[in-house]
Amino acid sequence: MPFDPEDYTAALDRAHVYAESWLASVPVRPVHPTATADELLAEFGKPLPDSPTEPSAVIDELVLTAEPGLMAIGSGRFFGWVMGGTLPAALAADWMVSTWDQNGGMRYATPATAAIEEAAGAWLLDLLRLPSGSDVGFTTGATAANMVGLAAGRGEVLRRLGWDVDEQGLQGAPVITVLAGEQVHASVLLALRYLGLGKPQLVPADDQGRMRPDELALALAEIDGPVLVALQAGELHSGAFDPMRECIEIAHENGAWVHVDGAFGLWAAVSPRWAALLDGLDTADSWATDAHKTLNVPYDCGVAIVANPAAMRTAFGVRTAYLLRDSDGPADPFELVPEMSRRARGVPVWAALRSLGRSGVISLVEGLAANARALAAGLAELPGVEILNDVVFTQVTLSFGSDERTQEVTQRLIAEGAVWMSGSRWRDRAVLRISVSNWSTDEADVRESVEAVRRATRESS
């Protein structure tokens, strides 16, 4: 069958109509899904038909069946976990990524997407105030980005001792000690598991989850061998930042590689208002963040940054006869991330940054933090509400007294559907955690969200 662009027209037209309908519904629809995965599987998992189905009919079935199972993550009243919405330019760019269908791994084969990602990477380094010579790779998310930074560090600290992990593996290698704060995020723990490094040694933190430099120094003094130190820019519940300059200086004095997990908090570095909280960030060795959180590009898109390009390319590069590349110059995209084949995730990042400009990125970040402070202020006025964290960035964590009452309020709030906030546990207490990550959240959303919590507290009293 010859290629005919018109074969796509009907299906794309239907998808366009449904996309606009979905976007129009997000501000007013209940945030929560109204069907379970098991209920939806009964519809999607029916026996595969013997004969073909028209593409437009497939889109109709897909959208109409999926609709009750969709979470309105793009809503300005979605504060569950740390999930951003999608900026218009980023969404449209993501459509183009699928339309172009480029395998974004090689500069030689797909020069347009490679160039776009390199440009986006340079803009990110500039905005985040990180070393201009760093390599930037676009991963599935912060978990993979953490793995990239830690893998580069793993190879480098072993190389300093004359051990080539790429040739010799880990069996028989010098034991690497990993140090992380008590409130280390699970994505770092997963990355360490993937890399065969096991659980980290936890360094005591303060009441906001910030690593204590004095405790880091004590831990390092007891270690004889290669070390990776994982710092945190944005603790999950408090939003707090480890004291970067002090911790990094202590770690480097002891020969450690320093990686910073900044899934959402790294973006504070773009703002003059918040950058002081990350003083010294640029002196680390590697960094991880998400673009599908604070920058509000579509899922999935993480960013891995390594100051030493050789360490990054050695960890993930490969040489074969059929992968043509320049011997010098920029890396192929596949040398910077775990996947050899992947979609061009950096294209929506370029589009988001290009549409916002420097001032727009700063306004986006500062607006998220301002909304977090406004939510905290409004919620603090409600009877029985206790704000548990210093609201230093985009996270707000609160309690309604006992664990039982906090859990009850959380369940009522989610069931109503006007907002979505996450139940969690922090410092041995049941809490309600709010993550302000959506570019579209406005004053009305803040007011409505406070009122939703007020209703939930009344109903549970």
Give the sign of the dihedral formed by CA 98, CA 102, CA 103, CA 105. Answer: negative
Class of domain 92-352: alpha beta
> What mean pLDDT is reported for the chain?
95
Structure tokens at 194: 């993937």
Give 277-332 pLDDT, tens digit per residue.
Answer: 999 999 999 999 999 999 999 999 999 999 999 999 999 988 654 455 555 678 99
Structure tokens at 317: 């590069």
**Domain boundaries of the chain, sorted by first residue:** 6-72, 92-352, 362-460
Indicate the pLDDT class of residue 460, thresholds 50, 70 and 90: low
Q: What percent of the chain has pLDDT over 70?
A: 97
Angle at 328 between CA 324 and CA 330, to 5 degrees: 85
Mean pLDDT of 387-406: 97
Give 265-292 pLDDT, tens digit per residue.
Answer: 999 999 999 999 999 999 999 999 999 9
Instruction: Name the DSSP class of 276.
Output: G
Mean pLDDT of 201-221: 98
Q: Which amino acid is at 414?
A: I
Among residues 283, 253, 23, 301, the alpha carbon closest in space to that of 130 is found at 283
What are the Cα distances from residue 232, in Å, to 161, 182, 269, 303, 312?
Answer: 27, 10, 13, 15, 20
Please answer whether residues 251 and 216 qualify as being in contact, where contact means their C-beta atoms are separated by less than 8 angstroms.
yes
The CATH superfamily label for domain 362-460 reads Aspartate Aminotransferase, domain 1 (3.90.1150.10)
Q: In angstroms, how far is CA 204 from the centroid of its own chain?
A: 25
Q: What is the DSSP string of 14-58?
A: HHHHHHHHHHHHTTTS-SS-SS-HHHHHHHHTSPPPSS---HHHH
- pLDDT of res. 361: 98
Give 10-57 pLDDT, tens digit per residue.
Answer: 999 999 999 999 999 999 999 999 999 999 999 999 999 999 999 999
Indicate the pLDDT class of residue 154, thresholds 50, 70 and 90: very high
Structure tokens at 275: 């950058």
What are the Cα distances from residue 37, in Å, to 40, 67, 71, 94, 206?
Answer: 5, 12, 12, 26, 40
Mean pLDDT of 449-454: 97
Q: What spatial distance separates the first Cα and last Cα of the chain, rounded to whole Å?
A: 67
Please answer whether residues 136 and 121 qualify as being in contact, where contact means their C-beta atoms are separated by less than 8 angstroms.
yes
The answer on pLDDT for 338 being more than 90 is yes
The answer on pLDDT for 255 being more than 90 is yes
What are the Cα distances from residue 411, in Å, to 186, 258, 288, 420?
Answer: 24, 40, 33, 10
Instruction: Find all residues with CB under 8 Å of 143, minimum gap 6, and list them.
Output: 187, 190, 191, 302
Question: Burial letters for 26-40: b for 16+ Cβ neighbours within 10 Å, e otherwise?
Answer: beeebbbbeeeeeeb
Query: How far is Cα 403 from Cα 91, in angstroms, rounded to an integer?
Result: 40
Mean pLDDT of 110-128: 97
Query: How far is Cα 129 from Cα 131, in angstroms, rounded to an integer?
Result: 7
- pLDDT of res. 7: 84
Question: Burial letters for 176-199: b for 16+ Cβ neighbours within 10 Å, e otherwise?
Answer: bbbbbbbbbbebbbebbeebebee
Mean pLDDT of 163-183: 96
The answer on pLDDT for 395 being more than 60 is yes
Q: Are strands 386-387 and 395-399 parallel, antiparallel or unpaired?
A: antiparallel
